């Protein structure tokens, strides 16, 4: 009885993956983000979730989300938006972002097949210091699951470490999912495409950069 939630924003030029510019145009960056989101939604569809939800910031959801319930994101910082998702649901919830198109149903399957009584949460760390997945069990009486997230500084080099510490300090027994690369920079995009060469993301990137990673002569800038 576990729901999966994909949290995403509408893939509009200048609104998503802006750090891929100038290696890609804003239009290309939006197209690449859309391809990656489609990969993520496909992985979610392949899992035995009892509910599939798209927590969406935008007006027009992707066509590939037709089988998903649409949950509008609340206003506020990312911590508030993540917290609101968990507070709005009653069942165990696995939440994943839209920035790791290399994820597969196989990577997430243990959350659905191996969640035992000794596990309270699952945590998927990202290589940039953030996290790409977070699963929390049923809420405890009088306890807000959102409070496990609310107030954690987001988009920082230590966001993941702080979030994991918040869970453990609350007494939760946490199991970890594999480390994945968030697509923030063009170097990240190239790396993810190599890991998942058959993904929609990789095909879209290849169409934009047919000569490979050196086609743009781009450099990577650290930071979010």
Residue-wise pLDDT tens digits, 34-50: 999 999 999 999 999 99
For residues 92-107, give the mean pLDDT: 97
Contacts of 147 (CB under 8 A, 6+ apart): 83
What is the pLDDT of the chain when averaged over all its residues? 93
CB 82, CB 73: distance < 8 Å: no
The first and second tokens of residue 174, run together, are 């946490």
Domain coordinates in residue numbering, the chain: 3-208
Pairing of the two strands 93-96 and 69-72: unpaired
For residues 198-207, give the mean pLDDT: 98
For residues 17-31, give the mean pLDDT: 97
pLDDT band (50, 70, 90) for residue 216: very low
Q: Is the peptide bond before 43 cis (omega within 30 degrees of 0)?
A: no
Pairing of the two strands 121-125 and 131-136: antiparallel
Q: What is the CATH number of domain 3-208?
A: 3.90.550.10
Residue-wise pLDDT tens digits, 154-190: 999 999 999 999 999 999 999 999 999 999 999 999 9
Q: What is the pTM of this model?
A: 0.92
Please determine, for residue 27, whether its predicted confidence score (pLDDT) is greater than 70: yes
Residue 213: the pLDDT is 60
């Amino acid at each position: 009885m576990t729901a999966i939630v994909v949290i995403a924003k509408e893939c509009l030029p200048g609104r998503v993956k802006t750090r891929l510019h100038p290696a890609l145009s804003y239009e290309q960056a939006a197209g690449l983000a859309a391809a990656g989101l489609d990969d993520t939604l496909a992985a979610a569809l392949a899992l035995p979730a009892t509910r599939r939800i798209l927590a969406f910031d935008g007006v027009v959801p992707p066509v590939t989300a037709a089988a998903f319930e649409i949950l509008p994101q609340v206003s506020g910082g990312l911590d508030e938006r993540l917290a609101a998702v968990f507070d709005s649901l009653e069942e165990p919830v696995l939440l994943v972002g839209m920035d790791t198109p290399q994820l597969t149903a196989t990577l997430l399957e243990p959350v659905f097949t191996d969640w035992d009584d000794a596990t309270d949460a699952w945590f998927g760390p990202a290589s940039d210091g953030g996290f790409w997945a977070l699963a929390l069990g049923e809420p405890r009486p009088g306890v807000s699951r959102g409070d496990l997230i609310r107030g954690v500084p987001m988009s920082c080099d230590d966001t993941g470490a702080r979030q994991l510490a918040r869970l453990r300090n609350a007494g939760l027994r946490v199991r970890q999912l594999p480390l994945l690369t968030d697509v923030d920079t063009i170097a990240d995009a190239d790396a993810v495409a190599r890991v998942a060469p058959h993904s929609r993301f990789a095909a879209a990137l290849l169409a934009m950069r047919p000569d490979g990673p050196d086609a743009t002569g781009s450099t990577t800038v650290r930071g979010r």
